Amino acid sequence: MGKFVITKRSNGEFQFNLKANNGQPILASEGYTTKSACENGIESVKRNSQDENKFDRKTSSNGKPYFNLKATNGQIIGTSEMYESTAARDNGIASVKSNAPDASVEDLTN
């Protein structure tokens, strides 16, 4: 089972990373001004990660594949790392789908 890790950025914003069983980050959030907004983002990932249509497969300007996970309102709630291949990106999406729904939450901001 994966886990969400909440951290605080140097600018005071909160963010989360979804990590797979092996500790590898598979999805990173934007910055949130409050911890409760960050926690709401985690809940949104848990809900939306089961909908294939919420994954937006992209290619960066340097040709590396990655993906965004979007909420129902179209807002990006998480972005993946850059992958070496589309197959690796698709494996990352599968990992989010399997890890997010039951992932625990670890808060490192306390």
pLDDT in tens, 19-43: 998 899 999 999 999 999 999 999 9
Nearest to 38 by CA among 10, 12, 13: 13
Contact 78, 71 (CB under 8 A): no
CA distance 11 to 88: 32
CATH code for position 27: 2.30.29.80
CA distance 86 to 44: 25
**CA 64 and chain centroid, separation:** 18
Task: Quote the domain boundaries for residue 96.
Answer: 3-107
Q: Domain count of the chain? A: 1
pLDDT in tens, 55-93: 999 999 999 999 999 999 999 999 999 999 999 999 999
